[in-house]
Amino acid sequence: MPTLEEVLLEVELTLSRRFEGPDNAQVMKVHGQKPRCFGGKHNPLAPHAESECFQLHPEKRDSYHSQMKHKDDKKDSQSDSPQVFSVFSKGLEEGHTVLDSGASFSLFKTSRRFVTYHPTNIPLYLTDGSCVYAVGMGTAAILSKTRRVLHLENSLVVPSISSSLIALKPFLKKACRLVGRETGADLIEKEGNLFFKGEFINNTVTVTLARPGVDKVVFWYPLTIHRSLGHPSNKYASKLFPLVDFSGLQCKTCVQAKIH
């Protein structure tokens, strides 16, 4: 007695013999493969109806490919938009910043921490379904407890958010680790130094950053800062303004003072 698989195969072969012409071998369903239509004829074994067959209705093929291309373009456009996987907590105190492991970009309410900046208009989709817009993009500079400077590239300025947000991914790429404790979690550098001391507030890990005013000096000329401080050494000036490069600074006043 033939098996069920053999019976089904015989039925497929019988139906396929209804096709005439040199394309029979292509029209017939190869065992284990999806049946297809060829030679301007519809294969009854195909998963689509005869009215939807592209071999009989070529115009429907063009319409189908056009629709699929539109869907792919729309999907690519949405995937290019930054995604933020965090619902921002309301009522956080001023100066607190959320440390988010799921965010793809760091977000700041203002551009005061940015060393490079250009205007933009990028939609951000939050987990609660809402959409906010970034008005600027660039590199933000933040300081650790050990006065180490970290530049966060592709950071966004989003004035409408309730609190700034720092993505954890750049830190993890630099071999930092997050160590939990009873009241919060600390971000530890590769060398073992404390980068951020985080506290649990409203079910989020929040950190306190250095005052933005310290970072703003990157827009000043090193010589201007040098003169404003009373002509200190480059080493001393670097401790006060770690984001400013004083190497190669030449001050005529200091040179003349050394001569005399």
In the chain, where the domains are located: 4-80, 96-214, 221-259
For 258, the enclosing helix (H) or strand (E) is helix 252-259
Give the fold, CATH level 3, of 96-214.
Answer: Cathepsin D, subunit A; domain 1 (2.40.70)
Which pair of structure tokens corresponds to residue 215? 């970072």
Q: What is the pTM of this model?
A: 0.47
Side chain identity, residue 200? F
> What's the rounded Cα separation, in Å, for the pair 64 and 72?
12
Q: Would you write out the chain's pLDDT as a tens digit for each of its 260 residues?
A: 565 555 555 555 554 444 444 444 444 444 445 677 767 777 887 777 888 888 777 777 777 766 666 555 544 444 444 444 444 434 444 457 888 777 778 889 888 888 888 898 888 876 667 788 889 999 888 876 667 777 888 899 988 887 788 888 877 777 778 888 888 888 887 778 777 777 887 777 777 776 654 444 344 567 888 888 888 888 888 888 777 778 878 888 888 777 65
